[in-house]
Structure 1
Amino acid sequence: MAKIVAVLYDDPIDGYPTTYARNDCPQPEVYPDGQTLPNPKAIDFEPGQLLGSVSGELGLRKYLEENGHELVVTSSKDGPNNVLDQELHDAEIIISQPFWPAYMTAERIAKAKNLKMIVTAGIGSDHTDLQAAAERDITVAEVTYSNSNAVAEHVVMSTLALVRNFIPSHDIARNGGWNIADCVSRSYDLEAMTVGTVAAGRIGLRVLRLLKPFGVKLHYMDRHRLPKKIEQELDLTYHSSLESLSKVCDVVTLNCPLHPETEHMVNAESLKHFKRGAYLINTARGKLCDKDAIAAALESGHLAGYAGDVWFPQPAPQDHPWRSMPHHGMTPHISGTSLSAQARYAAGTREILECYFEGRPIRDEYLVVQGGALAGVGAHSYSNGNATSGSEDAANFQPA
């Protein structure tokens, strides 16, 4: 019997849903690059259900308990006497999501003597100390591609919300106003602007494809250059550095993983190269940016807007400067956990667990660490080291 601890976000304030807004939840047949969707032997949920919160349990309880395993589900992960730390000592598998991450630091990994696998239900395993996991020969896996397109849609939505000044205009309508001049004094057309993505992997490339019909000029940087066929198809301009990209772009969107090489890549110094009035979109990881530098750039007017839904740590303390800075479009990390995406990453988590318990290989595209080293998608996207330092500040979060 194995003990599995799943750290999931809290249920809705008004209680777990008994009904939903829609009767169905359309799903793609295949991902854009040909990768197949998660394919477990079975699922014990209906796509479209809320699976990512505590009561949803990722649809795993029936499967795990029928096979003799113990499942502990909690949202308590930070601060003294949290449930995760109390359950670590004999846990074999830890599951969490990027939206409410269980920060698996070297200290926690050292306490978890029976730990064999850490699973990210979604994409992005930077909340795990990958170096410490490798040294302990702990497998780290994530459900690659399960919510990539959902995040890309959020990037496009955030871009338009900033450029068109949608959020303040919506607030004026909600508050009974009709001052059109206030609404449009910061509103522009996205058409003819120059948009650049930092990283053109699954999410970044999807963003480029979604934005192409808007009549924008598209730029990208990535340590893995795209095939010439794709560059020609989308009329892409390649950059080898953030400085080169940011100097020419009206909108910069960050779509790269967080690891020691990318931590705080956007800082007071690198922001000097951004065009005055540029917009920055970050749905990747909050720690890609120096939080104080972003707030200062918005206060000074050097940046016209900042949007995204990733923070560091998560949940972010009430005094986090991104909550109160001007001209922002932040959300509490929801981009990759739509009900549509939950169906995919819950099924992918089930697939990973089935492979683990049955002794079958986990898909290479799901692997981040295995056999004491970066593996699979991890070897392509991450670098050795640790990006969890400072995560203890998540304990300072107090709900408003």
Structure 2
Amino acid sequence: MPGKHLTVVVTRQLPQQVETRLKELFDVQLRDNDAPMTPDELVDAMQSADVLVPTITDQIDAKILARAGDKLKLIANYGAGVDHVDVATARQRGIHVSNTPGVMTDDTADMVMALILGVTRRMGEGIKLAQSDTWQGWTPTAMMGGRIKGRRLGILGMGRIGQAVAKRAAAFGLQVHYHNRRRLRPEVEETLDATYWESLDQMVARMDILSINCPHTPSTFHLMNARRLKLMKPNAVIVNTSRGEVIDENALTRMLCAGEIAGAGLDVFERGHLINPRLKELPNAILLPHMGSATLEGRVEMGEKVILNIKTFADGHRPPDLVVPSML
């Protein structure tokens, strides 16, 4: 299946370098605006494509896949997370799914540290104060936050990003703890100087900072539910750059309002861009518009991985970043 005869449909606008390279290699249909496709547009795209290049904004569930037709053979996801794709149903229909793992590791880990610092040092409040007309200058007791050196950081999910966070945290003098589906090898634990907790409840109750770095799966939905959030110390903060669904956002909002959790730094939200209005009003919450992987370098690298997966598939080989249900 020569590449130029492979019909590729892209669901969102991608960096210009990526779109140019796709046009050079494939018969590609690019998105002429940056709005997400409607479900009907997505079905039309899937019916006309050999390869679909979706993003996290495209919900490709069993109902959508049932309308895909027989032409589609590869979903080359632009992004590492594939919780928006029903991978098992796709495989049953003979459709391969690939992703772009490892590209956003450093960028997301950088953002975790930015949010940890931002919340503990009250940067969100400070920015608003400096931009207002009420700031009267420096005083010895104004805008006091907390020092992060010596604090305990609990990392929930110790994959690529979690480990990258651990390395950065050590440089800031944080004590690194973690909970993961599988314990790391002893030599990796030693390198990271990380303490493993088999019990998530026990870890959560003892941490000063909790960083969410696990994917969204059925088993991690509301993993940080109201009961588990209540285990956190009142002076603890929580940071999430992974998936919003991992935290019960309503419960978190109530606890932040009540002062039962000191602060939160959130780059992702349970309902996508529909953020709880009460959460937006809280001074102890820093909210970002899903910027964790938003570097030009990272987004271009993601595109390069997508292209490599498509080219390898077009040449009759297994895409290097093939996703199978057992990985999820």
TM-score by length of 2: 0.90
Structure 2 runs not aligned, ≥5 long: none
Please list the CA deviations of residues 189-225 of structure 1 after superposition, one character each: whole Å capped at 9, or x if unmatched.
1111100101111000000000102112110011221
Question: Structure 1 residues 178, 346: CA separation in 2 closer, same or farther (over 3 Å shift)?
Answer: farther
CA distance in 2, matches of 1:75, 1:85: 18
Q: Where do residues 1-400 of structure 1 align in structure 2 (5 Å cutoff)?
A: 1-8=5-12, 51-52=14-15, 58-65=19-26, 69-73=27-31, 75-77=34-36, 79=38, 83-98=41-56, 101-113=57-69, 114-176=71-133, 177-178=135-136, 180=138, 184-185=142-143, 187-314=145-272, 316-317=273-274, 321-363=278-320, 366-369=321-324, 374=325, 379-380=326-327, 382=328
Question: Structure 1 residues 108, 56: CA separation in 2 closer, same or farther (over 3 Å shift)?
Answer: farther
Is the 8 Å Cα contact of residues 239 and 245 (structure 1) preserved in structure 2? yes
In the TM superposition, residue 166 of structure 1 has moved relative to its aligned partner by 0.9
Runs of 4+ aligned structure 1 residues displaced above 6 Å come to none
Please list the CA deviations of residues 66-122 of structure 1 after superposition, one character each: whole Å capped at 9, or x if unmatched.
xxx2323253435576x3344332222221233xx2111111111111222212222
Q: Read off the aligned partner of 1:284 and give its amino acid letter.
A: S
Question: Structure 1 residues 215, 262: CA separation in 2 closer, same or farther (over 3 Å shift)?
Answer: same
CA distance in 2, matches of 1:297, 1:197: 20
Please list the CA deviations of residues 245-285 of structure 1 after superposition, one character each: whole Å capped at 9, or x if unmatched.
11110100011111111111011111121111211111110
Matched residue pairs, number? 321
Question: Structure 1 residues 88, 157: CA separation in 2 closer, same or farther (over 3 Å shift)?
Answer: same
Matched position secondary structure for 2:237: strand
- Structure with more relative contact order (C-alpha pairs < 8 Å, separation 6 or more): 1
Is the 8 Å Cα contact of residues 212 and 239 (structure 2) preserved in structure 1? yes
Matched position secondary structure for 2:30: strand
Matched position secondary structure for 1:303: coil
Is the 8 Å Cα contact of residues 3 and 70 (structure 1) preserved in structure 2? yes
Question: Structure 1 residues 122, 346: CA separation in 2 closer, same or farther (over 3 Å shift)?
Answer: same
CA distance in 1, matches of 2:138, 2:75: 51
Please list the CA deviations of residues 329-363 of structure 1 after superposition, one character each: whole Å capped at 9, or x if unmatched.
12111111211101211111111111011112222
Question: Structure 1 residues 246, 319: CA separation in 2 closer, same or farther (over 3 Å shift)?
Answer: closer
In the TM superposition, residue 300 of structure 1 has moved relative to its aligned partner by 1.1
Question: Structure 1 residues 152, 188: CA separation in 2 closer, same or farther (over 3 Å shift)?
Answer: same
Matched position secondary structure for 2:310: helix
Question: Structure 1 residues 318, 273: CA separation in 2 closer, same or farther (over 3 Å shift)?
Answer: closer
Identity across the alignment (%): 25
CA distance in 2, matches of 1:253, 1:353: 34
Matched position secondary structure for 2:201: helix
TM-score by length of 1: 0.74
In the TM superposition, residue 327 of structure 1 has moved relative to its aligned partner by 1.6
CA distance in 1, matches of 2:158, 2:224: 17
CA RMSD of aligned residues (A): 2.3
Q: Read off the aligned partner of 1:88 and give its amino acid letter.
A: M
Matched position secondary structure for 1:8: coil
Question: Structure 1 residues 351, 187: CA separation in 2 closer, same or farther (over 3 Å shift)?
Answer: same
Question: Structure 1 residues 179, 270: CA separation in 2 closer, same or farther (over 3 Å shift)?
Answer: farther
CA distance in 1, matches of 2:290, 2:54: 14
